[in-house]
Structure 1
Amino acid sequence: MRRACFLFLVLAVLFATPALAGNGYPTTLAGFTLGDSMASYEDYCQEGAPIPVSDAPFLSESQLKSENLPGVRGGTLAFGNCAGGDRLVRIKLKFNDHSQRLFNRLYDRYEQSFGKPDKYLGDAFKNVIAWEWRFEDGKGGRVALVLMWSRDKEIRPGVSIKMTQETLLDEEFECYKAQRKGSMGKMGMTKIGSLDAYVPR
């Protein structure tokens, strides 16, 4: 009897977890849907060629026009540039309202929809408060959702949201690594000879 009750409780917890709930796998934010072709959102982006992401060159990024999204002061749409297609991999939004009050309101809505976050990504002093929710669709699809408030001038001050389709991100990264495997010499990359120059004095 005890074993049956324990099994029931485990199953109840598992199926109550937002990451496994039927409606708990978000893919759309502010009208943008992860996995869509970036061509669908050209009218929302500033003119000019997309820019490769410096720390993730397997992604390219387009700046959003803030006038198309009420309350939003900026943001980016990042899409893959290696594995084929131009699939939307990541959405970032920054708001006009920098207040912690807006952050708290959004946090409450997120917790109502998805339950408690999975991880705290902010700092201990609360100069940056960032919570992450992680989701799986049961078919290998993974999405990470980060809600952040910052008063650090170097870390996206104000309120921001970042949503990433991690499965697509991994595919683009693996493609990038495969293309560059064994190509360091061909690209003329040099090695560090002495560490002296890289030790501040």
Structure 2
Amino acid sequence: MKQPIALAVLVLLLVSSPGLAGELPLTLAGFTLGRDMVQYKGHCQGPALVVPDIPFLTERSLTPDAVPGIRGGSLTHGNCLGEDKLLRIKLKFHDTSQKFFNKLVKEYTDRFGKPDSYQGDAFRNVIAWQWDFSQGGEAMSVLVMWSRDKEMRPGVSIKMTLESGVEAEYQCFMAASGRQEQERGGPTAIRSLDEFIPR
């Protein structure tokens, strides 16, 4: 029963993408990059949290089974420009097998051609292929990943990012941070490296 459901999810994920017809494939499982986050609030749970080490992005967790076949994930928007546009979609599948991952990669390759880069590790504890797209001033990427590393979302997942939107939020954040740093008198200096050696 698990395989038919997984294959149905593949169709759901890919049929809404325009492929190589000239448009960026911005829609994944019913979520569209660049759209206002307010229309997806019903699919989210818990508080909106600033992404660690990426303070210009805010992330909200998806409710379990918000999409059939998906066990979890998140939707991410910027927080500097004040536009609240969806910039990243992360989906984690119930089927965590490498066999399912290989089927998913084949579907992507058939639709979009060979991936543009390998983003996994050399030991293949994490296998990740990335496709990059651009049109006009917009750029986006899709990362399809399988992992057995417990710190790297074990199982099969997809991360789709509107890279141009993330870059715009980053530039906004850097400009604001520069002004705040000047107001504080500049960055503080390290007193001694000895403070940063474990004892």
TM-score under structure 2 normalisation?
Answer: 0.84
**Does the residue aligned with 2:110 lie in a helix, a strand or coil?**
helix
What is the aligned partner in structure 2 of residue 161 from structure 1?
158
Counterpart-to-counterpart distance in 1, 2:184 and 2:107: 48
Counterpart-to-counterpart distance in 1, 2:27 and 2:78: 17
Q: CA deviation at 1:22?
A: 2.5
Q: Which amino acid aligns with 2:152?
A: I
1:44 is the counterpart of 2:61: no
Q: CA deviation at 1:24?
A: 6.2
What is the aligned partner in structure 1 of residue 6 from structure 2?
none
What is the aligned partner in structure 1 of residue 9 from structure 2?
none
Q: CA deviation at 1:185?
A: 6.0
RMSD of the TM alignment (CA)?
Answer: 1.8
Structure 1 contact 24–114 (Cα < 8 Å) conserved: no
Q: Which amino acid aligns with 1:132?
A: Q
Equivalent residue runs for 1:161-200 within 5 Å: 161-184=158-181, 186=183, 190-200=188-198
Dislocated runs of 4+, deviation >6 Å: none
Counterpart-to-counterpart distance in 2, 1:67 and 1:171: 31
1:143 is the counterpart of 2:145: no
- Percent identical among aligned pairs is 51
Unaligned runs of 5+ in 1: 1-19
What is the aligned partner in structure 2 of residue 17 from structure 1?
none
**Does the residue aligned with 1:193 lie in a helix, a strand or coil?**
coil
1:73 is the counterpart of 2:71: yes
Larger relative contact order (CA 8 Å, sep ≥ 6): 1
> Which of 1 and 2 has greater Rg?
1
What is the aligned partner in structure 1 of residue 132 from structure 2?
134
TM-score under structure 1 normalisation?
Answer: 0.84
Q: CA deviation at 1:199?
A: 2.9
Structure 1 contact 117–133 (Cα < 8 Å) conserved: yes
Q: CA deviation at 1:192?
A: 1.9
Taking structure 1 as reference, are residues 78 and 57 closer, same or farther at Cα in structure 2, changes over 3 Å only?
same
Q: CA deviation at 1:25?
A: 2.4
Number of residue pairs the alignment of both structures matches: 180
> Which of 75, 86, 89 matches 2:87?
89
Q: CA deviation at 1:67?
A: 2.5
Q: CA deviation at 1:41?
A: 0.2
Q: CA deviation at 1:49?
A: 3.1
Q: Which amino acid aligns with 1:173?
A: Y
Counterpart-to-counterpart distance in 1, 2:27 and 2:59: 18
Counterpart-to-counterpart distance in 2, 1:108 and 1:187: 52
> Which moves more between the two structures, 191-200 or 158-167?
191-200
